[in-house]
Amino acid sequence: MTRPTLPDGLVVVVKERCETCRMVAPLLARFPATVYTQDDPAFPAGVAAIHDADLAVSWHHEIETVPTVIKVVDGVEVERTIGWQRSEWQRITGVAGLGDDLPVMRPGCGSLSVDPNLVDGLRARFEAHLLRSRRIELADLDDEVEALFDRGFTDGLPVVPPTEERVLRMLTGTTRAPDEVVAVVPPDLVEVTVEKIAINAVLAGCKPEHLPWVIAAVEAICTDDFNIHGVLATTMPVGPVIVCNGPGTRAIGMNAGGNALGQGNRANLTIGRAVQLVVRNVGGGRPGEVDRATHGNPGKIGFCFAELEADSPFTPLAVSLGQPAGTNAVTVFAGEGPRCIVDQLAREPGQLANTFAACLRTLHHPKLVLAFDVILVVGPEHARVFDDAGWDRDRLLSELHARLQIAGSDLVRGAHEMAEGIPVHLHDVTLPKFRPGGILIVHAGGGAGLFSAMIGGWANGEIGSKPVTVAVGK
């Protein structure tokens, strides 16, 4: 729809169901103005008002409060005032003494164009042309949820039907244009726009404020370093694990505390799920096709959580990977499901580091080294042991790597009557379990429970996947 133009001069927008509008209504006959009324076409009495019945004027000129007075010169708005402020109305109208018998100031009311019961429909009416995606028409008797199952748009769980109203509402969560290309999504190498990501965010159950986080995660997984095509094609049970940092995690209500790696938090689960749905619905990464995981894991529905930055002895993960402090950022890691690490008795940092090292050595196989990275999720009670001793991230990493130097005689094929292992010519060397930078430390979890967790990664480096950190935009 073409944006309605406002006539030159003064324009006033009012509605009858506004006490402030009713208060100022008698003043409107005292100066020349074009008056638009949102609800009652007979209001204000004695003024030839234009009924903004479809709210097109109010919508396109971003009327959020009534009354609003706008000054227009040569078809361009030059200033506006909202509500009733006596001095402002006298200044903008040029009428001395206007409303001297009224209160000095009174706030206005919400415009009908921003009424929560109307705004989604108005947005769909006036902005649907911004959407480029193919529409799917359903018969009146079709069940929307079942139709989405039938068309293969789900991950096996019900999804939210992505109507125009819902997609346009989702797009309010970002300042990026709907047709902006964000990435090329493997395996089909399809360009994904902000709009397409928004559609999948709706399917996943996201709120608009989650969308920038989904966009950042999609950008991250579609890099060559992360290699989402390889992550899909491998028979290992891995998928994108998304760790979120920054004050925005708290602003959108993400969970970094109790059960952070589990169910129950909308932001955590829907952000992770939306990313997976983009890979499925846009990139074509479907189980049994390009996705060849032997077992898979429940995290492939969506695995996303925030780091507990408050009271942490460790610098946030994103900061350790190069982002400025205070930046909202996502780190994507090709990982499996979490494995619990139990140590109820350690009260000294060295003791707890020994436990961590012993558990980390078993990752994927105790005789396989250097090939896999890991996220070590340190619970708050365990973190307190390190904090009390003054161990920061660098100290803990140094201590763990020192404890994870392993004699080749324990690793070679056939040692300990296990066929798996490294080639026998490495029998006399000492090798680290993890490459430099291969252990990523994250602080998360509930305040009670002497537990931590490890999330094993897929093949690392050039032959596999590298963790990728991306700042979250607006």
Q: With the C-alpha atoms ordered 359, 362, 363, 366, is the resulting torsion angle positive or negative?
A: positive
User: What pLDDT is attached to residue 261?
Assistant: 97
Tens-digit pLDDT profile for residues 283-328: 999 999 999 999 999 999 999 999 999 999 999 999 999 999 999 9
Which helix or strand (DSSP H or E) is residue 333 part of? strand 329-342
If 0-12 CB within 10 Å is exposed, 13-18 middle and 19+ buried, where does residue 362 land? middle
Tens-digit pLDDT profile for residues 161-194: 999 999 999 999 999 999 999 999 999 999 999 9
User: What pLDDT is attached to residue 270?
Assistant: 98
Cβ neighbours of residue 340 closer than 8 Å, sequence gap 6 or more: 451, 452, 453
How high is the mean pLDDT of the chain? 97
pLDDT at 351 over 90: yes
As a whole-number percent, the residues of the chain with pLDDT over 70 amount to 100
Partners of residue 460 on adjacent β-strands: 465
| Region 417-432 average pLDDT | 96
Which DSSP string do the residues of 420-444 spell out, in sequence order? -SB-GGGTTSEEESS-TT-EEEEE-
Tokens of 39: 């609800």
Q: Which CATH superfamily is domain 9-115 in?
A: Glutaredoxin (3.40.30.10)
- For residue 17, the SS3 value is coil
> Quick one: pLDDT band at residue 1, thresholds 50, 70, 90?
low
Lowest mean pLDDT among 83-87, 134-138, 343-347: 134-138
Q: How far apart are CA 183 and CA 275, in angstroms?
A: 12
Backbone angles phi, psi at 165, to 5 degrees: -60, -45
Residues of the chain with CATH 3.40.30.10: 9-115
Rg (the chain; Cα; Å): 29
Tens-digit pLDDT profile for residues 47-103: 999 999 999 999 999 999 999 999 999 999 999 999 999 999 999 999 999 999 999
- In 8-75, the DSSP E strands lie at 9-14, 34-37, 50-51, 65-66, 68-73
Q: How far apart are CA 124 and CA 165, in angstroms?
A: 5
Q: With the C-alpha atoms ordered 183, 185, 191, 196, is the resulting torsion angle positive or negative?
A: negative
Tens-digit pLDDT profile for residues 374-414: 999 999 999 999 999 999 999 999 999 999 999 999 999 99
pLDDT at 435 over 70: yes
Residue 449: other Cβ atoms inside 10 A: 15
Tokens of 330: 């996502």
If 0-12 CB within 10 Å is exposed, 13-18 middle and 19+ buried, where does residue 324 land? exposed
Residue among 257, 357, 369 at smallest CA distance from 307 = 257
Cβ atoms 237, 296 nearer than 8 A: yes
Residue 247: other Cβ atoms inside 10 A: 10
- For residue 123, the SS3 value is helix
b vs e for 112-143, b when ≥16 Cβ sit within 10 Å of the residue's Cβ? bbbeeeebeebbbbbbeeebeeeeeeeeeeee
pLDDT at 336 over 90: yes
Cβ atoms 28, 102 nearer than 8 A: no
Q: How far apart are CA 431 and CA 435, in angstroms?
A: 9
User: What pLDDT is attached to residue 2?
Assistant: 79
User: What pLDDT is attached to residue 415?
Assistant: 95
pLDDT at 107 over 90: yes
Q: Which residue has 């109820």 as its token pair? A: 344
Tens-digit pLDDT profile for residues 2-60: 789 999 999 999 999 999 999 999 999 999 999 999 999 999 999 999 999 999 999 99
| Region 142-154 average pLDDT | 95
Residue 147: C-alpha distances to residues 99, 156, 158, 159, 242 (Å):
59, 13, 10, 10, 30
Cβ atoms 120, 162 nearer than 8 A: no
With the CA atoms of 265, 268, 273 and 275 taken in that order, what torsion angle do they form, in degrees rounded to the nearest 10? 160
